Structure 1
Amino acid sequence: MNADPIHFAVRLSDGAWLHEADAVVAALEAEGCAWAHLQADHHRAEDWIEARLGHLPEPVREALTAGETRPRAMHVGGGLLLNLRGVNLNPGAEPEDMVSLRIWVDARQIVTLSRRPLRTVERMADLYRAGHGPTRPGAFVALLVEWLTDRIEQAVEELDDRTDALEERLIRGDSENLRADITDIRSALVDYRRFLVPQRDVVGRLTLPRESDLLSREDLLELTESEDAMRRLVETLESVRDRLLVIRDELQGLSDARLNRNLYILSVVSAVFLPLSFLTGLMGINVAGMPGEGWEPAFWVFTGGCGLLFLVLLVAMWRLRVLRVRR
């Protein structure tokens, strides 16, 4: 199977693992239901889809191997085409760089494709290895959506907790690297909202009544719970976005207040020393007729006068509340 795009395959009815390519094909075409997971960017993936799912409309086959996808759901005959996104938990990857999972499911076969490993798919495979996997395709879809939503919920809660920590730092006055942390969270927020908003709508569409036996009443109830969770997660993301805007505005306000205070102090200092600078500049000109030029105590008298003027200016500014700067 190394030459094939198949990662693994299992028969849902008895949990039997299929290790040979011919056995996988036979199971997908036989009565009952089998699940095959494929590498989406394998060089033979498109040929495999054409050969095994050639009865599907061409847009459906292209959607299964498309390079760029967004969450979507489409009923085709008695089957269902799904494009979903899961949190990226691969080493060295960012969780918000979500992994695309392409799914075709009907009464006889479930075909999933992904370009990168997805923890939820591995968890589902482990469930079948333990002999407890869903035996119906509708139950498979409902459980897969639930687990994808659970992983997303953990990531969104972590983002919410990081925003709480930023608010606490702002209250404590710890603004070091705060802008960089805000930018990092906002970047993750943009990526999450890009996929979770349409995925919320996709899960909502799955709960609508359809003329199909693929999803039972129990499956629809579970999908309804997943839809409610997705709506709550999107609302949490919107709340995080608004809170980040408030934090950014508060941080900008603190920065502006600090700058204005420094400029105010500089203006006060300039106002105090401007008359003194004028007098020293005036008395320092080197021209004939300067008063006190031949009087020995002239320097000390002039210095004392400048000191007295300095004190007068300080008292005047204090009485005018110019020097009373609030922190």
Structure 2
Amino acid sequence: MSTKSGLVFAYILEGGSGRPIGWDGVDGWRPDQGILWLHLDYADEGAKQWLVENSGIDDVSCAALMAQETRPRVLSSGDSLLLILRGINFNPGADLDDMVAIRMWFDEHRIISMRHRRVMAMDDINKSIEIGKGPASVGEFLTMAASKLADRMGDVIGDIDDGVDELEDLVLTAEGHHLRPKLADLRRQTIGLRRYISPQRDVLARLQSERVAWLNDVDRVRIREVAERTARFVDDLDSARDRAAITQEELNSVLSEQMNKTMYVLSIVAAIFLPLGLITGLLGINVGGVPGTENQSAFAYVSILLVGFALAQYVIFKRMKWI
């Protein structure tokens, strides 16, 4: 099974386990052998050619499976079902909110899933099959895929919620300027995830009502549970976004208060030294008649005068409750 051919992996599913096959096994597969699952790279020309020429899938579904940009959607035609979902991007160096799409097509005997970037939920199903705990039917595969995607979403959204809690605690105690980039990154991540997860919630809600023969009542109950979890994720992201906005306002208020205190101190210092600077400026002009020029003790007298003047200003400001 070479990834250069566009085939990431393929199985004939048999009651929870699976027999791995290559392109030869795919071409020779018959429905009486078991359920066929192909996991393909839609960017590979070999996978595209097989999908168009040999899969037997209608043109609309083929175009949706190979599209460069897509969004969550569900489309049924007879006993076949096209489902496009998104998952958290856990690939190295990628942003979590840059979600990856998994495109899936189902009928009673076949499952075709396509991706370009690695989708960890599909790898999870692959590992479950290897240990004999994989899906035993097409409907169970669908519900397992949706559940695995939701599980990984839940972990990330839980971390976001914890991050907001931490920033709320730190905003009044830590240095505000260091919290700004963290808070901005958290808000960006929250907004990005919600933009992708919100349509997925609607797709899963609609999926429950799709009438295909191989989707039984138990599968529909599981899909409803995943849809409700996804709806809670959207609510959690809304809450995190609102809390982050409030935290941002509180942080701006703290920074503004710190700036006001700093400016107030500088104003007091300027008010004390302004008259002192005026006196020293007058005594330093190069014109005749400046008192004390011939007196050796004049500098000491002037210094004492300036200190006394400053102390007098301090007392006055204190009584006026300026400091």
| TM-score, length basis structure 2 | 0.90
* Cα pair 2:72 2:86 within 8 Å, conserved: yes
Query: Cα gap change, 1:21/1:304 in structure 2, threshold over 3 Å: closer, same or farther?
Result: closer
Quote the Cα distance in structure 2 between the aligned partners of 1:172 and 1:276: 38
Q: In the alignment, what sits opposite 2:173? A: 172
Structure 1 residue 36 corresponds to structure 2 residue 38: yes
- Structure 1 gaps of 5+ residues are none
Cα displacement (A) at 1:70: 1.6
Q: Deviations over 1:220-248 (max 9, x none)?
A: 11111101100111111111112222222
* Cα pair 1:12 1:35 within 8 Å, conserved: yes
Cα displacement (A) at 1:49: 0.7
| Counterpart mapping for 1:239-254 below 5 A | 239-254=239-254
Q: What amino acid maps onto 2:263 in structure 1?
A: L
Cα displacement (A) at 1:118: 2.1
Q: In the alignment, what sits opposite 2:185? A: 184
Quote the Cα distance in structure 1 between the aligned partners of 2:90 and 2:75: 27
* Cα pair 1:149 1:229 within 8 Å, conserved: yes
Cα displacement (A) at 1:26: 3.7
Q: In the alignment, what sits opposite 1:27? A: 29
Query: Cα gap change, 1:313/1:60 in structure 2, threshold over 3 Å: closer, same or farther?
Result: same
Q: Any idea what SS the aligned residue of 2:213 has?
A: coil
Quote the Cα distance in structure 2 between the aligned partners of 1:30 and 1:22: 17
Query: Cα gap change, 1:53/1:284 in structure 2, threshold over 3 Å: closer, same or farther?
Result: same
- Structure 2 gaps of 5+ residues are none
Quote the Cα distance in structure 1 between the aligned partners of 2:267 and 2:148: 62
Quote the Cα distance in structure 1 between the aligned partners of 2:131 and 2:291: 106
Q: Deviations over 1:268-312 (max 9, x none)?
A: 111111112112212222223344555665554444433332222
Q: In the alignment, what sits opposite 1:193? A: 194
Quote the Cα distance in structure 2 between the aligned partners of 1:230 and 1:64: 23
Q: What amino acid maps onto 2:247 in structure 1?
A: I
Q: Any idea what SS the aligned residue of 1:263 has?
A: helix
Query: Cα gap change, 1:283/1:212 in structure 2, threshold over 3 Å: closer, same or farther?
Result: same
Q: In the alignment, what sits opposite 1:126? A: 127
Aligned residues: 321
Cα displacement (A) at 1:27: 2.7
Structure 1 residue 216 corresponds to structure 2 residue 191: no
| Counterpart mapping for 1:105-124 below 5 A | 105-124=106-125
Quote the Cα distance in structure 2 between the aligned partners of 1:32 and 1:322: 86
Q: In the alignment, what sits opposite 2:265? A: 265
Instruction: Provide the alpha-carbon RMSD of the alignment.
Output: 2.4
Quote the Cα distance in structure 2 between the aligned partners of 1:235 and 1:128: 33
% identity of equivalent residues? 32
Query: Cα gap change, 1:297/1:13 in structure 2, threshold over 3 Å: closer, same or farther?
Result: closer
Query: Cα gap change, 1:5/1:301 in structure 2, threshold over 3 Å: closer, same or farther?
Result: closer
* Cα pair 1:28 1:35 within 8 Å, conserved: no
Quote the Cα distance in structure 2 between the aligned partners of 1:126 and 1:278: 82
* Cα pair 1:200 1:231 within 8 Å, conserved: yes
Single out whichever of 308-317 and 21-30 deviates more from structure 2: 21-30
Q: In the alignment, what sits opposite 1:152? A: 153
Q: In the alignment, what sits opposite 1:320? A: 320
* Cα pair 1:182 1:244 within 8 Å, conserved: yes
Quote the Cα distance in structure 1 between the aligned partners of 2:23 and 2:32: 14
Quote the Cα distance in structure 2 between the aligned partners of 1:157 and 1:114: 26
Cα displacement (A) at 1:150: 0.9
Q: Deviations over 1:101-126 (max 9, x none)?
A: 11001112110011122222122122
Q: In the alignment, what sits opposite 1:229? A: 229
Q: In the alignment, what sits opposite 2:305? A: 305
Query: Cα gap change, 1:67/1:312 in structure 2, threshold over 3 Å: closer, same or farther?
Result: same
Q: In the alignment, what sits opposite 1:282? A: 282
Query: Cα gap change, 1:10/1:279 in structure 2, threshold over 3 Å: closer, same or farther?
Result: same
Q: Any idea what SS the aligned residue of 2:8 has?
A: strand
* Cα pair 1:170 1:251 within 8 Å, conserved: yes
Query: Cα gap change, 1:95/1:55 in structure 2, threshold over 3 Å: closer, same or farther?
Result: closer
Q: What amino acid maps onto 1:221 in structure 2?
A: V
Quote the Cα distance in structure 1 between the aligned partners of 2:182 and 2:275: 47
Q: Any idea what SS the aligned residue of 2:29 has?
A: helix
Quote the Cα distance in structure 1 between the aligned partners of 2:179 and 2:299: 54
Query: Cα gap change, 1:262/1:16 in structure 2, threshold over 3 Å: closer, same or farther?
Result: closer
Query: Cα gap change, 1:81/1:294 in structure 2, threshold over 3 Å: closer, same or farther?
Result: same
Q: Any idea what SS the aligned residue of 1:116 has?
A: coil
Single out whichever of 104-113 and 192-201 deviates more from structure 2: 192-201
| TM-score, length basis structure 1 | 0.89
Quote the Cα distance in structure 2 between the aligned partners of 1:16 and 1:301: 100
* Cα pair 1:28 1:108 within 8 Å, conserved: no
Q: In the alignment, what sits opposite 1:6? A: 7
Q: What amino acid maps onto 1:115 in structure 2?
A: H
Cα displacement (A) at 1:152: 0.8
Query: Cα gap change, 1:30/1:67 in structure 2, threshold over 3 Å: closer, same or farther?
Result: farther
Q: Say which of 43, 52, 55 aligns to 1:53.
A: 55
Single out whichever of 129-138 and 64-73 deviates more from structure 2: 129-138
Q: What amino acid maps onto 1:288 in structure 2?
A: G
Q: Any idea what SS the aligned residue of 2:68 has?
A: coil
